[in-house]
Structure 1
Amino acid sequence: MSGAQEEKKRSKKRYGGPRCKRLKGARELEVGMRGVLVTCNMNERKCTWEAYSLLNEYADELFGPEKFADPEESHSEEEEEEGKDEEHDTEVALKKEVKQIKKFAQQRRFVALDSGANNVVFIRAHDIDPEKLVHRILQDLRETKKKKSRVIMRMLPVSGTCRAFPDDMEKFLSSFLEPWFKTPHHASYQISYKARNNNHSNRDDVIKALAGLVGKMNPKNKVDLTNPELTIIVEIIKTVCCVSVVRDYMLFRKYNLQEVTKGPPNQEQGQQEVTKGLPNQEQGQEEVTKGPPNQEQGQEEVTKGPPNQEQGQQEVTKGLPNQEQGQQEVAKSETNVTAEQNLTERGRSEGGSEETTDVAQGDEIKRVKQE
Structure 2
Amino acid sequence: MGKRKKHYISAHVNKRKKSDGVYGKLEIGMQGVLITHDRGKENLCRNDAFKILNYFADKWYGTVKGEKTLSEKPGATVVSIDEDVGGSDEEDIDAALSKEVDCIKDTAHVRKRFYAVKSGCNNVVFIKTFDLKPSNFVRRVIQTIAAETTDDHYDADIPAARGVLRIHPVDYSCRATMSEINSMAKRALPQLLGDVEQRNIGKESFLKEYNVMFRGRNNNEFGMHIVTDAIVEVVKDVAENWRYNCRSTDIYVIVEIIINLVRASVVENYARYKKFNVRELFVERAMKKCGNAKDGDGRKEQQQEKQEQYETVKEEKKQNEQHQEQEQEKQPENQHEQQYEKEEEQKAQKLEEK
TM over 0.5: same fold? yes
Q: Is 1:236 equivalent to 2:257 in the alignment? A: yes
1:153-192 to 2 correspondences below 5 Å: 153-181=165-193, 187-192=208-213
2:306 and 2:70 map into 1 onto residues whose CA distance is 73
Decide which of 39, 45, 48 is 2:46's aligned counterpart.
48
Q: Is 1:131 equivalent to 2:129 in the alignment? A: no
CA contact (8 A) 1:38 1:120 kept: yes
Q: Residue type of the partner of 1:139?
A: Q
Q: Judging changes above 3 Å, is the alpha-carbon distance between structure 1 residues 278 and 64 closer, same or farther for their aligned structure 2 residues?
A: same
Report the aligned-residue RMSD.
4.5
Q: Judging changes above 3 Å, is the alpha-carbon distance between structure 1 residues 221 and 52 closer, same or farther for their aligned structure 2 residues?
A: same
Unaligned runs of 5+ in 2: 1-7, 80-90, 95-101, 150-155, 198-206, 308-354
Q: Residue type of the partner of 1:54?
A: I
CA contact (8 A) 2:193 2:266 kept: no
Q: Judging changes above 3 Å, is the alpha-carbon distance between structure 1 residues 249 and 217 closer, same or farther for their aligned structure 2 residues?
A: same
1:247 and 1:66 map into 2 onto residues whose CA distance is 29
Question: Alpha-carbon deviation of 1:26?
Answer: 5.1
Decide which of 13, 27, 31 is 1:30's aligned counterpart.
27
Helix, strand or coil for the counterpart of 1:220?
A: coil
Q: Is 1:220 equivalent to 2:241 in the alignment? A: yes
2:32 and 2:132 map into 1 onto residues whose CA distance is 8
CA contact (8 A) 1:231 1:245 kept: yes
Decide which of 99, 108, 117 is 1:113's aligned counterpart.
117
Q: Is 1:205 equivalent to 2:209 in the alignment? A: no
Q: Judging changes above 3 Å, is the alpha-carbon distance between structure 1 residues 259 and 178 closer, same or farther for their aligned structure 2 residues?
A: same
The structure whose residues are more often helix, as a share, is 1
Question: Alpha-carbon deviation of 1:268?
Answer: 8.9
Q: Is 1:64 equivalent to 2:35 in the alignment? A: no
Q: Is 1:39 equivalent to 2:36 in the alignment? A: yes
Helix, strand or coil for the counterpart of 1:260?
A: helix
In structure 2, the partner of 1:6 is none
1:234 and 1:198 map into 2 onto residues whose CA distance is 13
Helix, strand or coil for the counterpart of 1:193?
A: strand
2:71 and 2:250 map into 1 onto residues whose CA distance is 48
Helix, strand or coil for the counterpart of 1:148?
A: coil
Q: Is 1:275 equivalent to 2:275 in the alignment? A: no
Q: Is 1:140 equivalent to 2:144 in the alignment? A: yes
Q: Residue type of the partner of 2:243?
A: K
Helix, strand or coil for the counterpart of 1:153?
A: coil
Q: Residue type of the partner of 1:57?
A: Y
1:209 and 1:162 map into 2 onto residues whose CA distance is 15
- Deviations along 1:250-309, one digit per CA (max 9) or x if unpaired, are 111111112234289x989853343347989xxxxxxxxxxxxxxxxxxxxxxxxxxxxx
In structure 2, the partner of 1:299 is none
1:214 and 1:171 map into 2 onto residues whose CA distance is 12
Q: Is 1:251 equivalent to 2:272 in the alignment? A: yes
Q: Judging changes above 3 Å, is the alpha-carbon distance between structure 1 residues 277 and 27 closer, same or farther for their aligned structure 2 residues?
A: closer
Question: Alpha-carbon deviation of 1:229?
Answer: 4.8
> Between the two proteins, what is the percent identity of the paired residues?
26
2:218 and 2:254 map into 1 onto residues whose CA distance is 17
CA contact (8 A) 1:162 1:168 kept: yes
- Deviations along 1:153-188, one digit per CA (max 9) or x if unpaired, are 011111111111111111111111112457xx6921
Helix, strand or coil for the counterpart of 2:183?
A: helix
1:273-312 to 2 correspondences below 5 Å: 273-276=300-303
Q: Residue type of the partner of 2:118?
A: D
1:74 and 1:51 map into 2 onto residues whose CA distance is 34
1:192 and 1:276 map into 2 onto residues whose CA distance is 33
Structure with the greater alpha carbon radius of gyration? 1
In structure 2, the partner of 1:328 is none
2:270 and 2:28 map into 1 onto residues whose CA distance is 25
* Greater RCO (Cα-Cα under 8 Å, separation 6 or more): 2
Equivalent residue pairs, number: 253
Q: Residue type of the partner of 2:229?
A: K
Q: Judging changes above 3 Å, is the alpha-carbon distance between structure 1 residues 213 and 123 closer, same or farther for their aligned structure 2 residues?
A: same
CA contact (8 A) 1:161 1:242 kept: yes
Helix, strand or coil for the counterpart of 1:234?
A: strand
Q: Residue type of the partner of 2:24?
A: R
Unaligned runs of 5+ in 1: 1-9, 87-95, 281-371
Q: Residue type of the partner of 2:48?
A: E
Name the TM-score, length of structure 1 as normaliser.
Answer: 0.56
2:278 and 2:122 map into 1 onto residues whose CA distance is 19
Name the TM-score, length of structure 2 as normaliser.
Answer: 0.59
